[in-house]
Structures are given as C-alpha cells and as structure tokens.
Structure 1
Amino acid sequence: MANFIGEYHCKVDTKGRFMMPSGLKKQLDPAAQEKFVINRGFEGCLVLYPMNEWEKETQKFEKLNLFVAKNRKFYRQFHNGATQLLLDGTGRLLLPRTLAKSAEISKEIVLFAYANRIEVWAKDRYEEVMEEDMDDFASLAEDVMGELDDKTDE
C-alpha cells in the first residue's frame, strides 16, 4: 500500500484543470501509469487514487455479498461519480464538472495526501474542516490512539 504524505495548494484553471505537484508526483508508483480514479469522499471532499491503488481498494469489494442490501448501497455510494483521469502532456488533471461542483471547488484546491489516497478539497472548505478538527484534536487523539496503545499492551 502506498503511503502518501503532504499538503499541496493548487490553482484550478477555467477549464477545471490543475497541475499535479511535483512533490506528489515523485511519490507515485510507476505502476499507476499516470492514470487515476477520482470519486466522492467524506466530509465534502473528493478522493483521488492512483490507478494501481484504486485497483487494490476495489478488490476489497469482491468480498461483499451483493445480495445484502447495505452492501449494494455502500458499493453504489463508494462508486458514485467515480471517473478515470489521465495526466495530460503537461502534467495536469481535469476535474469532472459534476464532482467539482459537488465539492464546491472553483479556483483553489488543497491536495491532502495520506495512506493510499489524495483528498481534493476546495481550499475554503479544507480550512474550515481543519479548524473544526483542531478544536477537539487532543480528545480525538486520545480516543483513537489510546485504543491502539491499550491493544498493543495485551
């Protein structure tokens, strides 16, 4: 699994394209072949996966029993708006208009890279979410990481 890291601020042109930052591009596995999939994420962002990571992620769905209603619903929601993207000759990606609109993206975005994904946020929304999250970060860290510490002691 990839272990992306970084926060990158990018401009979106009038056609909805943005330049893939070189620092992020260097972290990509050549197996991705400059192909990506973008879909809707949580908290109002979009999620960009290099193709090889998308394939790994969606392999997990093979384990779902599609005769179970909640599994079908999750499958649909996860794939809602999923679109394949290719880096163009100048290293840009074109955001699908419907997805950009759903994430309220216009001129400035933040790419937040972690684990095997890159979240794509409208700059204003990202700042709001991070500001909200900072208020209870210590408590959240205790809840999430404290559980891990308890489990490793066993």
Structure 2
Amino acid sequence: MFRGGTPISLDNKGRLAVPAKYREGLMSFCAGRLVVTADPSRCLLVYPQPVWEPLEQKLNSLSSFNPQIRGLQRLLIGNACDVDMDGAGRILVPPLLRQFAGLSKDVVLVGQGAKFELWDEEKWNLQMDNALAFKDGIPAELDGFSL
C-alpha cells in the first residue's frame, strides 16, 4: 500500500530515487520491476509489474472498435514502459513520458494505494489547490462522508 507524497528531484539523466521506505517492499514484491505509463491527467502512473499486468490484460480485452476505449488503450498501453530499479533504488523515467507529463527537475511521487502518481511539482500544487476548491460542489458520493 503506497500512500503519501514525497518531493523528489530528477537527476540530469531523468532518474529518480524511489523513497527508501518503499524500496525493500518493491524488491521483495516485484524484484524492482515497475511499469511507467501516461495518465489522462498529464501525470505518470508507476505500477509494480504484477499489479500492472492484470490491468493491461483487462484493457486489451475491451473492444478497440469504441473510439474512447481505443484512445485509452493507446494512451495507457501504448506509453507503458518497463523500468527496473537499479542498485541505488533509482528508476529511469523515459524521455517521452517526461515530456508528456511536463516533468521538470522537481517532482512529487504520490502514493495511490497499489500505484504511484508522478507529478511535476508545480502541477501537483495546482491539483491540490483545485482539490480544495470544490468548484463544482461536493460530489454526491461524499454525502454523509466524514473525516
């Protein structure tokens, strides 16, 4: 279970160091094999390979005759890249995906349960501002929900 946000810096080669608190678990769960892909929100998704594979199979099983489904398949599967953590716990974020998400040197790795989101820090801050604004009101699904 991944949770919380961690500010990270990409190095000159586009590598990021996976936070130490996740490294051991990722090594034991998936031998450090991850999949990075594009997200419609213009961030990147980072999955442990065993979590990604059933999602990829499910996406591939959907009808590609529906233009919306085909677009999502192109986005998610067409951009999926296998990456391996190196001995220092770093992964290389592929250049095309860095460009897609507009990643600068300063990024935020955000735990989202079984996956991470990788955001440019400025875009992440805008997402948080928007989440606090409730521009369209509170969704009906949150009626009666309390923290």
- TM-score tier, shorter chain, comes to 0.7 to 0.9
CA–CA distance in 2 between the matches of 1:34 and 1:28?
5
Higher helix share goes to which structure?
A: 1
**Contact 2:46–2:115 (8 Å) recurs in 1:** yes
Instruction: Structure 2: give runs of 5+ residues left out of the alignment.
Output: none
Identity percentage over the alignment?
26
CA–CA distance in 1 between the matches of 2:85 and 2:63?
35
1:33 aligns with 2:7: no
Aligned to 1:146: 143
Aligned to 2:114: 116
Alpha-carbon offset, residue 26 of structure 1: 4.5
Per-residue Cα deviation, 1:81-122 (whole angstroms, up to 9, x for no partner): 211100011110111111111211121110111122100000
Instruction: Structure 1: give runs of 5+ residues left out of the alignment.
Output: 149-154
Look up the equivalent residue of 1:23 and give its one-letter code. Answer: K
CA–CA distance in 1 between the matches of 2:110 and 2:97?
17
Alignment size in residue pairs? 146
Q: Which has the larger radius of gyration?
A: 1
CA–CA distance in 2 between the matches of 1:34 and 1:18?
13
Shifted more, 59-68 versus 93-102: the winner is 59-68
Aligned to 1:152: none
Q: TM-score, normalised by structure 1?
A: 0.82
CA–CA distance in 1 between the matches of 2:105 and 2:68?
36
Alignment of 1:18-97 (within 5 A): 18-28=16-26, 30-97=28-95
Q: TM-score, normalised by structure 2?
A: 0.85
